[in-house]
Amino acid sequence: MVSVLALLIFAWSGGGVAAADSMSEKWLSPAASASKKNPIAPTQASIAAGQKIYSKTCVMCHGKSGDADGPAVIELNIHPAKLSNPQLDTEPDGSLFWKITTGKKPMPAYGKRFSETDRWNLVNYIRTIPKH
């Protein structure tokens, strides 16, 4: 009886946390960060470098085509942003850069893990993901 109850509470709180995370208000970057200019031109080399990191680090959540259907999504019951969402085109590069740098649970902060250049490369790559 006790263990069943514990299980129920666990399941309930787990679901609750995930729902609260994804249902919370839209994730906005500070205006100063959003207006930061992208210093890295979206060259083939930059996009390729971004794609390399993306397929190693981001695919598990955001999915190969940016549809938020990576393997971790089902496992962790999370709801990553769709990077294939046309709405992304309305967000400045600086805003995406800030989000990659800062993270937001359950998305890790990548500010320490990847150099500035690599984070801009990621932004450049995300821009090439077909939107639909």
Among the listed ranges 7-15, 31-39, 40-48, 91-99, the one in contact with ligand HEC (CB under 6 A) is 91-99
Residue 129 engages ligand HEC in binding (rule: CB under 6 A)? no
Q: Which residues of 48-60 are buried (b: 16+ CB within 10 A; e: fewer)?
A: ebbbebbeeebbe
- Residue reference for tokens 């729902």: 19
Near ligand HEC in 45-74, by CB under 6 A:
53, 57-58, 60-62, 72
Q: Choose which of 63, 66, 80, 94 interacts with ligand HEC (CB under 6 A).
A: 80
Of the candidate spans 1-9, 10-18, 39-47, 100-108, the one that interacts with ligand HEC by CB under 6 A turns out to be: 100-108
Six token digits for residue 125:
């790559």
CA separation for the pair 79, 100 (Å, rounded): 16
